[in-house]
Structure 1
Amino acid sequence: MLPQELVNVIVAEVEAKVDLEACSLTARSFVTPSQRALFRKKSLQWDSSSRIAPAFERALSLIEGHPHIAIHVRELTIDVPKFPASQSILAAVLRTMNNLERLGINGHAQDWDNLVPELKDAILNVISLPSLRRLHLLRISSLPISVLFHAASSVGVLSLNLVTPLVPRDISLNDGDNLNVQLGTLILPSCLTTPALLQVCDFFLRLQNLQRLSIQMQSSGHHRTIITSSSQSLVHLKLDCAAFLTPLDLPPLPNLQTLSLSLAKAVDNDRAHLPTNLSNTIASLPTHSPLLQRLDLTVCVPRVEMNPVWDPDSPPFPLFQQNDSSPSTSTSTSTSYKDQSALPCLRSIHCHLEYSEPSLDRTGMYFGRATTRFVEAMRAKFPAAHRDRILSVGRAERKSKIDYFEHLP
């Protein structure tokens, strides 16, 4: 008989579900590690066109017949059904989950108050689990401020997308009521989109140890308020700049190492320009992010049939012009752009071309030509970075909205 430690190592290398199921039938020593892998990550989905949720009923029946299975579930993604009976079944499933590390909830645009009480209690209990580290909320309306505060105080990673806080808030918070210092990652792709909503959730402006922030730019400028509140601790910042019509105007970010900018560029086939606000942002990098190590730039073109010709007369970004005193060819790994002392820690720049519409075939001549043009354009904008081999340019696949939770930490 193989030692259990060796069995665990063997099963840990197996990924396919059918293979794990076969392992669980091999011998008794294989059952627990196989089930641990099989049930570690589960999803309970609901068809919004149906009045029943059979997946929830099957899950509850399985757990009631084999209670130990719930122990193995560490990552759970759930759809919230609209009918009370199905919500009650989902609540019963959640009550068995005591070891969850990650929870994703799609509320399907339902009001929190419309959920049955036992489901709301079950969700709050899961959020309170000491093991829960990552919480992702999608499409929930009228979410009480007390729930948001509880979530932000309990987990290390929190994402809120199309989540509407309930105004006015249902709890009284003092300036001294700071959040738990373990919240290190905050993702706000489409949430707190107005100053009024940010005001009722002002506890997000008192984060003590936020290192990663992903946020969408707003014309109101509220994104800058959130960035400024954690400017001393931020290490990674990701911004969805849309058409970049509003100046970014970043505050000093003395510890920032990674800056990711995404542009939804409305271009035409004849000539494509990068927005002036992008040029200004890159020019200000040495001022607000002197320790920057990596810059990511994603340009999203709206239609797959477009093959924009990037403006050949567009000058390089001044910070990355060729230094005429440097050799034309260089194998040095040190930076040698125009002012290398401005960003002494910069080691990589990554530029990606992305299409907002899905396509079945991204390998044909058309996409190859579009990518080639984009590569040439980015090399022209970052000539010194290209020469110094810290620039990479290519095409990126648009993340599917269907598998939204799969793209989150």
Structure 2
Amino acid sequence: MSPLPQELFDAIIDQVRDKETLKACALVATSFLSPSRRNLFREIQLFGVVIGDREPSATLAEFPHLVSYIRDLTIYVWDLVSENILAMAVILRSVQSIESLVIYGGAECWSSLGDEASSALLDCLSRPSLRRLELLYVGSVPAAVISAATAIPVVSFNYVHVDMREEISEQLHASAPAPRLRHLILDAGSEVRSICDFLLHPRNPPYTQQIERLEVRINQPNASHFERIMAACAATLKYLAVNPEDIIQLPLLPSVLEVEIKVWVGYDRRLPAFFSQNISQIASSLPLAETITLVVFVDLVRLGPEIEWADEAPLPIFGPSFMDRTQLLHLRRVHCILRRQSTFGDISALFYSFVPAMESTMPGLRGTGILRCTLDNPPYLAP
């Protein structure tokens, strides 16, 4: 018997991130085996191609006791071969404590899964432990899957198309789970219309009426669909993140306390032309907003020396007369974050010109303690 408690071994091994080190730890002693496996198999990615001698799905299907360790599962559906589809179905039916599920697909990927895998995936969505679901580039998704997804607290739909060829049935309505959706993430794309049409279908349960956090990337062709979603959850929405590609139109959102707006800055280091109008729209549509977070993405891939930030006219809402405002009466913080768009380069030097640029754009915030600028510049690891 070891003189040290098992909890100490568990705590130490939980800090290990390297897979090879975890494999070595699993061979040290019986007391190391379970915590090593727990961390080795916590996050699993399943592909349709063989990696090395065996594909992970084949190993997990053969040794089902390892599936119990899975908490975060990512499945790349587009290139699954038939035997791996069956193995995936076995895994999906076995993960009882899954917390996060990500599915990458293709244009007609759902039909390629077959009845067994589709049924297993639908069963997996009903796990009480599942807290987050991400569907990315998944076409022809049955309406029953979207209905099941609304029972998950955090859901992200990125270029997801709902198969609406069959009319919403009474059976689907009767079998719909109680909505638990609190955080919805919607990306742009022509497919967003099918998501909105399903979520807001008059014969469906009120899927959107408990949403507290909403993240949307708005483009002009689909702006009206995003407006419908925002209006539908206006009564409960507390946090809104918008990634606009043009001027936005927001409905009245009387409960939103925090808003985040993302912008991309080009090589001229100038905010988009529509940015000022969007800030004005936020000021008029979010009367109780307490925090505005501005995330500014920059790309350093350019030839020649870095240029200074361009001089910009002050934003009207944050001009010198800000303290005499009639809008944003509850505003307590404007947080400007400089973030690197690509994985290359260092933007630390650029931050020193970013701060005075933001102060110049919002002169009414100087000396108020409201404006805060920070740098988000993760270290670049050379290949």
Tell me if structure 1 keeps the 8 A contact 2:215–2:241.
Answer: yes
3-state DSSP class of the match of 2:237?
Answer: coil
The alpha carbon displacement at 1:343 in A equals 3.1
Paired residue for 1:125?
A: 123
Distance 2:172 2:100 in 1: 29
Paired residue for 2:285?
A: 288
Tell me if structure 2 keeps the 8 A contact 1:240–1:263.
Answer: yes
CA spacing shift, 1:351–1:338, aligned 2, 3 Å: farther
User: Among residues 313, 322, 331, which one is paired with 2:320 in the alignment?
Assistant: 322
Paired residue for 2:263?
A: 263
Q: Say what the alpha-carbon RMSD is for the aligned residues.
A: 3.4
User: Among residues 211, 228, 242, which one is paired with 2:231 in the alignment?
Assistant: 228
Q: Does 1:350 align with 2:336?
A: yes
Paired residue for 2:381?
A: none
CA spacing shift, 1:139–1:234, aligned 2, 3 Å: same
CA spacing shift, 1:196–1:164, aligned 2, 3 Å: closer
Paired residue for 1:377?
A: 357
Tell me if structure 1 keeps the 8 A contact 2:179–2:207.
Answer: no
CA spacing shift, 1:141–1:55, aligned 2, 3 Å: farther
Superposition TM-score, scaled by structure 2 size = 0.82
Tell me if structure 1 keeps the 8 A contact 2:188–2:219.
Answer: no
3-state DSSP class of the match of 2:240?
Answer: strand
Superposition TM-score, scaled by structure 1 size = 0.77
Q: Number of aligned pairs?
A: 368
CA spacing shift, 1:65–1:217, aligned 2, 3 Å: closer
Task: Name which of structure 1's ranges 30-39 and 193-202 shifts more when overlaid on structure 2.
Answer: 193-202
The one-character-per-residue Cα deviations of 1:97-146 (angstroms, maximum 9, x if unpaired) are 22211110111333322222222122111112222121111111111222
Paired residue for 1:404?
A: none
The one-character-per-residue Cα deviations of 1:26-65 (angstroms, maximum 9, x if unpaired) are 332222222212211111234xxxxx44479543443355
Paired residue for 1:73?
A: 70
The alpha carbon displacement at 1:176 in A equals 8.2
Paired residue for 2:243?
A: 240
CA spacing shift, 1:195–1:372, aligned 2, 3 Å: same
The one-character-per-residue Cα deviations of 1:207-239 (angstroms, maximum 9, x if unpaired) are 231011111213242211100110111111111
Supply the AA of the counterpart residue of 1:16. Answer: D
Tell me if structure 2 keeps the 8 A contact 1:263–1:298.
Answer: yes
Mapping for residues 47-196 of structure 1, pairs under 5 Å: 52-54=49-51, 57-64=54-61, 66-80=63-77, 81-152=79-150, 154-172=151-169, 180-190=178-188, 193=191, 195=193
Tell me if structure 1 keeps the 8 A contact 2:263–2:272.
Answer: no
Paired residue for 2:216?
A: 215
3-state DSSP class of the match of 1:109?
Answer: coil
Tell me if structure 1 keeps the 8 A contact 2:22–2:39.
Answer: yes
Task: Name which of structure 1's ranges 225-234 and 25-34 shifts more when overlaid on structure 2.
Answer: 25-34
Supply the AA of the counterpart residue of 1:237. Answer: L
The one-character-per-residue Cα deviations of 1:63-100 (angstroms, maximum 9, x if unpaired) are 35543211111111111125333322322332332221
Paired residue for 2:38?
A: 36
Distance 2:80 2:17 in 1: 34
Tell me if structure 1 keeps the 8 A contact 2:296–2:336.
Answer: no
* Percentage identity across paired residues of the two chains: 27
Mapping for residues 246-257 of structure 1, pairs under 5 Å: 246=247, 248-257=248-257
Distance 1:63 1:273 in 2: 49
3-state DSSP class of the match of 1:349?
Answer: strand
Distance 2:169 2:55 in 1: 41
3-state DSSP class of the match of 1:362?
Answer: coil
Distance 1:157 1:252 in 2: 24
- Structure 1 gap ranges (5+): 47-51, 324-335, 399-409
Distance 2:192 2:60 in 1: 43
Paired residue for 1:405?
A: none
Task: Name which of structure 1's ranges 59-68 and 31-40 shifts more when overlaid on structure 2.
Answer: 59-68
- Structure 2 gap ranges (5+): 379-383
Distance 1:124 1:301 in 2: 40
The alpha carbon displacement at 1:259 in A equals 1.0
Supply the AA of the counterpart residue of 2:234. Answer: S
Distance 1:176 1:148 in 2: 12
The one-character-per-residue Cα deviations of 1:349-397 (angstroms, maximum 9, x if unpaired) are 2243554xx463335xxx83x5444433221111233433433345656
